[in-house]
Amino acid sequence: MQSRTFSWSWSGFLALMLMAMALQCARAQDLKSFEQKITTKVLPNGLTLIVCERPEAPVFSYTTFIDAGDVNDPSGESGLAHMFEHLAFKGTSEIGTTDYAAEKVALAKVEEANNAYEAEYLKPVGRDPQKLAELKKAFVAAQAEAHKYVIPNQFTDVAERAGAHGLNASTGLDETMYFWSMPENRLELWAWLESGRLSDTVPREFYKERDVVVEERRMRTDSNPIGRLVEQFLATAYVAHNYGRSGVGWPSEVSQVSATEAMEFHKKYYVGSNVVVTVVGDVKASEALPILEKYFSKVPGGPKPEDMTTVEPKQFAEKTVVIREQTQPFYIEGYHRPNYRDPDDAVYDAIGDIMSNGRVSRLYRSLVRDQQIAAEAQGFSPFPGDKYPGLFAFYAVPLPGHTPTEMRDAIHKEIDNLKTADVTDEELAMYKTRSRADLLRGLADNQGLSNALAEYQTRYGDWRQLFLQLDRVDKVTKADIRRVANLVFTASNRTSAEIDTEAPHASEKKDGGAQ
């Protein structure tokens, strides 16, 4: 990278400066034009509504953004936020039931039966197998009784029949999001459905759904080599903060959370002040807001839940995880970094971009193109979340015949380069140009724009930061990059994890029926 001729470099730099100036204008125009299109309203219950008019086609997309995720799961109940997200598809007292009054009574009995069963099951000594079997039977019978009143999947059925597209939700460590797109003439129907499930959730079919979520864990984590590795990697990198805890939930916990616990989570975190709802598309704020206000006022008010107070202590010892199994080798490492509100947030983005973005990136050129030891190599941050201090992570996929140790050494060499020499003017300018262009490219999609507005509104209290972040991007200097690299990328701040490939053990047979 350092071998470019002066003339190339200089003309390239000039061109980049001109480009940056052109884009600067585009950015200013965009914020201004978006201020014309976007209306924000905070309801008396604290819920924030954002409507963005983009009448390209007679459709809209929405995002409900809850400022709570699996990081907020109470101790011993990992996976609860995600469980609740699944519950939010099960309907309300008005949809999904033939007789809510009777169903409510039956659901209370399900909880009683579950509590009785769990109490026996969890007895450290003196568990009575016969009693346990009876309690299990009673629990299953109570569920069957409650199920009599269920109209399965009616909530999603009504949405899908009305044209819902891309109907889904996601639970991260930091937040929970619900989203879909719809023809614009179904705005009021959507507002009824969405506000209903936020304010009037019924813990219907909870225990069946818990089995489904455990299957989700088996798919994403247990039966996937990278899923297993990342779970161990995070659990090792964090000693105090919940970022180290399995997001989908540890098997013993997610398989035993109860509907009562899920509803307590809902009561605490699904309050207006913790919710942003964004609508983007063929809607007029003047017509849409009164409808949204009517329905979303139903969401209970309440204080914004207190933030987690646990702060991950400074790491002072390097940690390493080695998984030995019959899958191909892999290497990942991470360094603790501050959260998104840190003044250096954009500096971390710059490092990620310069190290990883495309075939010009340092890791590609070094590990993939020149040394030919990796099929893929990247750095990214923050991981696994951005609300609290996360990690700056690097990973590499070795080519056949190459080892995790080689990946590690090669990545460290590139990190050392960041610490000892400035990045080039071209690299820094490239980061700034690409940041702007990427932001602009993202504006042409209702769902993407809706998600971004909701996220920035939640994280910064102002959606304008989606555009204003470019000011922070602009201010990043070469000295910043060198300073931050020296600050963060130290051996004692590092956790690494790797898969070392074991030869198949042909003679060794597993016991039949082993769990």
**Segment interacting with another protein, rule: CB under 8 A, options 67-75, 159-167, 385-393, 408-416:** 159-167
> How far apart are the C-alpha atoms of 93 and 101, rounded to whole Å?
8
The SS3 of residue 16 is helix
CB of 97 to another protein, least distance (A): 7
User: Among 116, 321, 399, 468, which residue interacts with another protein (rule: CB under 8 A)?
Assistant: 399
Q: For tokens 């932001």, what's the residue?
A: 439
Q: How far is the CB of 161 from another protein (least distance, A)?
A: 4
Sign of the alpha-carbon dihedral angle for 503, 504, 508, 513: positive
- Please state, in angstroms and rounded to a whole number, the distance separating the CA atoms of residues 411 and 406: 9
Minimal distance, residue 453 CB to another protein, in Å: 17
With binding defined as CB under 8 A, does residue 282 bind another protein? yes
Which phi and psi angles does 95 have, rounded to 5°? -135, 130
- Eight-class DSSP state of 79: T
Kindly tell me which residue out of 122, 400, 503, 507 binds another protein, with binding defined by CB under 8 A.
400
Q: Is 11 in the site for another protein (CB under 8 A)?
A: no
Q: Nearest CA to 202 among 160, 154, 159?
A: 154
Q: Which is nearer to another protein, 352 or 390 (CB)?
A: 352
- Residues of this chain, 57-86, that bind another protein according to CB under 8 A: 57-59
Residues 340-359 that bind another protein (CB under 8 A): 357-359
Q: Which stretch in 41-49, 145-153, 263-271, 301-309 sits in contact with another protein by CB under 8 A?
A: 145-153
Peptide bond into 183 cis (omega under 30): no
Does the footprint of another protein cover residue 436 (CB under 8 A)?
yes
CB of 291 to another protein, least distance (A): 10
Residue 453: which H helix or E strand, with range? Answer: helix 446-460
Instruction: Write phi, then psi, for 283 (nearest 5 degrees).
Output: -135, 150
Q: Among 118, 145, 157, 264, which residue sits at the site for another protein (rule: CB under 8 A)?
A: 157
Q: How far is the CB of 225 from another protein (least distance, A)?
A: 5
Give yes or no for a contact between 190 and 62, defined as CB atoms under 8 angstroms apart: yes
Q: What is the 3 state secondary structure string of 301-368?
A: CCCCCCCCCCCCCCCCCCEEEEEEECCCCEEEEEEECCCCCCCCHHHHHHHHHHHHCCCCCHHHHHHH
CB atoms within 10 A of CB 40: 18
Given the rule CB under 8 A, which of 268-276, 377-385, 470-478, 506-514 is the region that contacts another protein? 506-514
Q: How far is the CB of 491 from another protein (least distance, A)?
A: 29
Residue closer to another protein (CB basis): 290 or 401:
401
Q: Contact letters (x/-) for another protein, 415-434, by CB under 8 A?
A: -----------x--xx--xx
Using CB under 8 A as the binding rule, whether residue 24 contacts another protein is answered as no
Q: Given the complex with another protein, which of 314 and 509 has the nearer CB atom?
A: 509
Q: From 107-115, 147-155, 308-316, 338-346, give the range in contact with another protein by CB under 8 A.
A: 147-155
Q: Which is nearer to another protein, 192 or 243 (CB)?
A: 192
Shortest spacing between CB 343 and another protein, in angstroms: 25
Q: How far is the CB of 35 from another protein (least distance, A)?
A: 16
Interface with another protein (CB under 8 A), residue from 14, 15, 28, 311: 15
**Given candidates 170, 286, 372, 477, which one binds another protein under the rule CB under 8 A?**
372
Q: Which of residues 316-335 bind another protein (CB under 8 A)?
A: 325-328
Please state, in angstroms and rounded to a whole number, the distance separating the CA atoms of residues 465 and 50: 14
Q: Pick one of 35, 112, 128, 211: the residue that binds another protein (CB under 8 A).
A: 211
Site for another protein contains 144 (CB under 8 A): no
When asked if residue 214 is in the footprint of another protein (CB under 8 A), the reply is yes
Q: Are 108 and 100 in contact (CB under 8 A)?
A: no
In angstroms, the first-to-last Cα distance of the chain is: 53
Residue 390's nearest CA partner among 247, 185, 508 is 247
Closest approach, Cβ 268 to another protein, in A, equals 26
Of positions 69, 79, 183, 249, contacts another protein by CB under 8 A: 183
Q: How far is CA 223 from CA 228, 233, 383, 512, in A?
A: 8, 16, 22, 19
* Residue placing its CB nearer to another protein in the complex, 74 or 442: 442
Axis-axis angle for helices 285-296, 187-199 (nearest 10): 30
242 vs 361, beta carbon nearer another protein: 361
Q: Is 477 in the site for another protein (CB under 8 A)?
A: no
- Binds another protein by CB under 8 A, chosen from 64, 78, 181, 278: 181
Q: Count the neighbouring beta carbons within 10 Å of the beta carbon of residue 47.
A: 27
- Answer yes or no whether residue 35 interacts with another protein by CB under 8 A: no
For the chain, how big is the Rg over CA atoms in Å? 26
- Helix (H) or strand (E) holding 100, with range, is helix 100-121
